Amino acid sequence: MVIFPSDPPVLRVLQLSDLHLFGSAGQRLLGQDTRLTFSAVLSWAQQTHWPVDLLLFTGDLIQDENPESYSYLEQQLVNLSIPCYGLLGNHDLPELMEIGFTRSVLRMEDSLQIGGWQFIFLNSRIPGRVGGYLSSGELTKLRQALHAHSQLPTLVCLHHQPVSIGSQWLDAIGLGNPEAFFACIDEHPQVRGVLWGHIHQAFQRSRKGVALLGTPSTCIQFLPGSQQFTLDARTPGFRWLHLYPDGRLETGIERIPAYPDPLELHPRAGGY
């Protein structure tokens, strides 16, 4: 748990997700140089939504099994002088994080309190699996954090989507126990939003007054509503959030104007 002593009147947060970085320059994921697209997204964020108080990274930071991928990300963040927090996605490997992250630039915490808000970070990763699940330990952590700071409006963050997004192949690899998750959320009215990555597309709904928010990838995008793996020509992006001490939440999606190099759609691709 991290507590910041000074609170801004409006907490300005950016969520970046599903970077799928490689350890070496020039490597591509289904035609896209993921280092190049991440750099373009970060640059666009600095042009359009800077300064910010917090950067959130909601998993799948790397694509390959290479600690240099994490080292590269650390190098991109070290000079920003902004608190950065992350959580695990299905492509992430904690043992490599320990090797690649050496300067505590991207922190992996259970929760933090800042700006009159609480953030809770959950690990929905199942080793060796694409889909996700919240263990009894993670659910206990969620309940304890919500109980400990019941007066604070709260944003709950995880990698896997806990609701159907209307895309058969993605819904099959979402969170495996959403009922248990929402049973906990429903007991705590201070929860204002649930934020995730994994789906490589924008998503926004409301459930019992709680904002449900999915976010584009900083690299390839998945076509909304597709029943099988399908890429989308929309450009990479990020989510911005303005969080007010009274619990109000404003949010939106920002995408880069154009791909930094031509997008090569792969109609026969069955996955990544």
Across the chain, which has 272 residues, the per-10-residue mean pLDDT values are: 59 98 95 96 97 97 96 96 96 94 92 96 97 98 98 98 97 98 98 98 98 98 95 96 96 96 75 78
Residues 6+ apart with CB under 8 A from 97: 67, 70, 108
Pick the CATH number of 10-255 from 3.30.300.130, 3.40.630.30, 3.60.21.10, 3.40.640.10: 3.60.21.10
Note whether 174 and 210 are within 8 A (CB): no
pLDDT number for residue 35:
97
| The predicted structure's pLDDT at residue 5 | 45
pTM attached to this predicted model: 0.95
Domain ranges of the chain: 10-255
Burial class (CB in 10 A: 0-12, 13-18, 19+), 68: middle
Q: How far is CA 220 from the centre of its chain?
A: 15
User: Which residues fall within 8 angstroms of residue 232, CB to CB, at 6 or more apart?
Assistant: 200, 201, 221, 222, 223, 224
Closest CA to 149 of 12, 6, 2: 2
pLDDT of residue 268: 66
